[in-house]
C-alpha cells in the first residue's frame, strides 16, 4: 500500500551505496529480496520505482525482485516447512510455537553498475 514510499527509500539507499570513485557510473539494476508475508505488490513497487528514478542517479535502472517464501521452524519438534496459506501451526505436531525463518525480508541485496572498462 505504501509502495511509493518503499521505492523512494530504495533509491535513497542505492544512491548512497554507489562508491564515491564511481560518480558517473550507470546503475543497471537494484536487486531486492521481499518476503511473501509482507503485503508489498512487486508490480506496484516496480512501477513506482520506474517513475521515481527519473532525474536520479538510478535513472534507467531495473528493479529485480526475488520473492522469499515464508519458512517456519517448529520450536517443539524442530520441523521446517514452507507456509503458503495463513495457517501458522506445525503440520507435523500441530504446535503453534514457531519461529519464522524467512518471509519478512525487505532488503536491498546489491546494485549492479556498468563496468567502466566495458562502457568505454
Q: Please, which residue, 9 or 78, has the CB nearer to another protein?
A: 9
| CA dist., res. 77 & res. 80, Å (int) | 9
CB of 48 to another protein, least distance (A): 9
| Element housing 9 (H / E) | helix 3-17
CB of 23 to another protein, least distance (A): 14
Q: Please, which residue, 80 or 109, has the CB nearer to another protein?
A: 109
Angle at Cα 113 formed by Cα 10 and Cα 19, nearest 5°? 75
Interstrand relation of 70-74 and 98-102 (parallel, antiparallel or unpaired):
antiparallel
Q: Are the beta carbons of 63 and 49 closer than 8 angstroms?
A: yes
The footprint of another protein (CB under 8 A) covers 1-2, 4-6, 8-10, 12-14, 16-19, 28-29, 31-32, 37-39, 86-89, 95-97, 100, 104-115, 118-119
CB of 40 to another protein, least distance (A): 8
CB of 95 to another protein, least distance (A): 8
**Rounded to 5 degrees, what are φ and ψ at 116?**
-65, -30
Q: Please, which residue, 80 or 88, has the CB nearer to another protein?
A: 88
Q: Please, which residue, 78 or 99, has the CB nearer to another protein?
A: 99
Q: Are the beta carbons of 76 and 95 closer than 8 angstroms?
A: yes
Amino acid at each position: 500500500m505504501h509502495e511509493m514510499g518503499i521505492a523512494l527509500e530504495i533509491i535513497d539507499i542505492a544512491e548512497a551505496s554507489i562508491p564515491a570513485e564511481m560518480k558517473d557510473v550507470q546503475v543497471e539494476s537494484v536487486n531486492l529480496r521481499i518476503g511473501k508475508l509482507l503485503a508489498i505488490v512487486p508490480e506496484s513497487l516496480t512501477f513506482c520505482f520506474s517513475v521515481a528514478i527519473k532525474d536520479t542517479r538510478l535513472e534507467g535502472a531495473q528493479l529485480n525482485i526475488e520473492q522469499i517464501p515464508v519458512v517456519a521452524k517448529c520450536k517443539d519438534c524442530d520441523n521446517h516447512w514452507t507456509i503458503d496459506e495463513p495457517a501458522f501451526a506445525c503440520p507435523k505436531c500441530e504446535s503453534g510455537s514457531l519461529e519464522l525463518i524467512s518471509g519478512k525480508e525487505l532488503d536491498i541485496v546489491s546494485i549492479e553498475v556498468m563496468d567502466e572498462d566495458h562502457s568505454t
